[in-house]
Amino acid sequence: GAVVSQHPSRVICKSGTSVKIECRSLDFQATTMFWYRQFPKQSLMLMATSNEGSKATYEQGVEKDKFLINHASLTLSTLTVTSAHPEDSSFYICSAREQGWYNYGYTFGSGTRLTVV
């Protein structure tokens, strides 16, 4: 089945630094990837939709300059949290869809726990 690899699984960074999270589709081409944020004991909140070769589309209220998304290839999307602050600490999850997603659905990565100290 489709596999999405997300790295790193955990990262601790100092306030003011930037952190990059990678999301790779291992055995399929993902023209569209999605980035979510999840707060403790809450559901997933969609942050942005990433299409290969074009600018990401951000959901209302998500700062595009803070959360930089790049989808340079059909198998890789990255999320960079710039000038991170403690309030950016959260669980970030990516997902990808392949052709025929109507039938196969979406595949999710294993998530990244970001802690900003």
Partner 1 sequence: KQEVTQIPAALSVPEGENLVLNCSFTDSAIYNLQWFRQDPGKGLTSLLLIQSSQREQTSGRLNASLDKSSGRSTLYIAASQPGDSATYLCAASVAGGTSYGKLTFGQGTILTVHP
Q: How far is the CB of 12 from partner 1 (least distance, A)?
A: 15
Q: How far is the CB of 26 from partner 1 (least distance, A)?
A: 14
Nearer to partner 1, 75 or 95 (CB): 95
**Rounded CA separation 97/110 (Å):** 15
CA torsion 97-114-40-61 (nearest 10°) is -70
**Rounded CA separation 77/5 (Å):** 11
Nearest Cα to Cα of residue 97 among 14, 9, 30, 8: 30
Nearer to partner 1, 38 or 82 (CB): 38
Nearer to partner 1, 32 or 82 (CB): 32
Which residues of the shown chain bind partner 1 in the complex (CB under 8 A)? 6, 32, 34, 42-44, 46, 49, 91, 93, 95, 97, 101-111, 113
**Residue 99 CB contacts under 8 Å (≥ 6 apart), including other chains:** 29, 31
Q: How far is the CB of 83 from partner 1 (least distance, A)?
A: 26
Answer whether 33's CB lies under 8 Å from 23's CB.
yes
Q: How far is the CB of 18 from partner 1 (least distance, A)?
A: 23
Nearer to partner 1, 52 or 82 (CB): 52
